[in-house]
Amino acid sequence: MVAAGGIMDDYLIEISKTHGPVFRLCMWHQVVVFVSDPECIKDVLVTGNHPKSKRMYSRLSNMFGTRFIGRGIETEVDNKIWVLQRIQLDQWFKPHYIRQLASEFNEFADRFVEYLETKANGKTEIHMLDTFNKLAMHLLYKVASSIDLGPLTDENHPFVTKMKTTITGFATLLSDPLVAINPFKWRFRRDVRDAIKYIRQSARQMMTDRNVAKRNGDYVPHDLLEYIMELKEKHPSKMTDEILLDNFLTFLLAGQETTAATLSFIIILLAKNPECYKKLQKEIDDNIGAVSVVTLNELEKLPYLDMVLKETLRLYPVVKVSFRETTTDYKLGGHHIPAGTDMVISFYATSRSEQNIRQPLDFLPERFDNDSSERISKYAVTPFSAGPHTCIGKKYAEMEMKIIIAKIMQNFDFELIPGQTSEVQGNVFIQPKSEVKCFLRPRKTVSA
């Protein structure tokens, strides 16, 4: 299954057909329990609220001896410390604040449209995955720090390139732990370490510049950087400079990779399902037309867009797994699990299992219609995780992606260049195997 173009989780789905949705495997001389049953997922993530796996998250915390995202909200494995961080950061991600970001989302979506217009002649290949990566990082950088990386161009900003290097480093380390000591991989390790140092130093310089601006009495925007710097002033013993950096970079890392991949999968799925494509385009034409600013009110008029996003995330939960560790002997799905056992919660396998979803490999956005006859368990589709550890940026990501897709559908017709595949790659973050090459043509949206 894996060799045939799938990923590990495709193999897990096949195993679960024989051995059930809770089973163990031995990987790298370590026993790991895989879970793809909705009720068991609820038990692990919500009822039990098991801590994150030290063994797995340490690889993201530090890579090749260099601190990457350290002990931020994504990698902190001590639940008591994690709860304090979550409470502190939660305020910035409240819905009322996210709504205020709509203007930023629209501004960058418009820049994106302008960039695509230079290539939308029906003949020029556009690599949408790479283009979405640029857009996501430019937008995240501006929202988080109020710093503009400049116009979208064919060249990647160094920060975008370095972030991609670190993500590749983590994915490689997860699939092949021996890369950490392989003498033939020393250049790879050096490049990853250099990329991490560049990223952390860039963020550290932002903090220095912000402190100078404050001392000089200059205007200071109330963005994410400012918010977590204020947290440090209020809680100096709990929010050190390094943890501040950890959380700032966690936001950039998670936001870029997940947004770019999900937008790319939406393009693939719509292009391969023309009836869904036409239905979404008609909904946008009929309900918001050529409106220049897509607000939350406009998005509420687009229920099919919401269904398309949910169905895309069901098929392609970009963060496809979560790792937990038992702290005591534990009973799960009738199985005894000893203390200190790593558990892998596979969101990908759960939401693609025929035990949980009808026609699981088909793209059917209507399954998320309120009037649908299909009743999907709350824990069968959890692309943003579940329980206390539900993704803190969920509302941010949903609003951002909906605005971008709405703007694309308003302004362009697109088609995949032959040879683009729906296959995926990745160990924790998944993305299309192909570059999602498209031809775009301009269109004039009918006013609503």
DSSP for 309-352, written as a single string: HHHHHHH--SB-EEEEE-SS-EEETTEEE-TT-EEEEEHHHHHT
Residues 6+ apart with CB under 8 A from 367: 307, 311, 357, 358, 374, 376
Are 105 and 114 within 8 A, CB to CB? no
pLDDT of residue 114: 95
Q: How far is CA 300 from CA 17, 66, 285, in A?
A: 39, 44, 14
Binding site per annotation, positions for heme:
391
Paired residues of 424 in beta bridges: 432
**DSSP designation for 125:** -
Which residues fall in the annotated binding site? 391
Instruction: Please give the model's pTM, rounded to 2 decimal places.
Output: 0.93
| Helix (H) or strand (E) segment spanning residue 73 | none
Residue 195 DSSP SS3: helix
What residue spans define the domains of the chain? 8-442
Closest CA to 356 of 381, 333, 335: 381
Q: pLDDT at position 2, please? A: 45
> Of the candidates 387, 317, 315, 383, which has an alpha carbon nearest to the alpha carbon of residue 40?
387
Give the whole-angstrom CA distance, residue 164 versus residue 144: 18
In tens digits, what is the pLDDT along the chain, a chain of 448 residues? 444 456 888 888 999 889 999 999 887 678 899 999 999 999 999 998 899 998 888 888 899 999 999 999 999 999 889 998 899 889 888 888 888 899 999 999 999 999 999 999 999 999 999 999 999 999 999 999 998 988 888 777 888 889 889 988 988 887 788 899 999 999 999 999 999 999 999 999 999 999 999 999 999 998 999 998 988 888 887 788 899 999 999 988 888 888 999 999 999 999 999 999 999 999 999 999 888 899 999 999 999 999 999 999 999 998 899 999 999 999 999 999 999 999 999 999 999 999 999 999 999 999 999 999 898 999 999 999 999 999 999 999 999 999 999 999 999 999 999 988 888 988 778 889 999 999 999 987 655 5
- The backbone torsions φ and ψ at residue 158, rounded to the nearest 5 degrees and listed phi first, read -55, -35
d(CA 355, CA 203): 45
Class of domain 8-442: mainly alpha
**Backbone φ and ψ of 126, nearest 5°:** -120, 120
> pLDDT tens, 39-73?
999 999 999 889 999 888 888 889 999 999 999 99
Res 1: pLDDT? 44
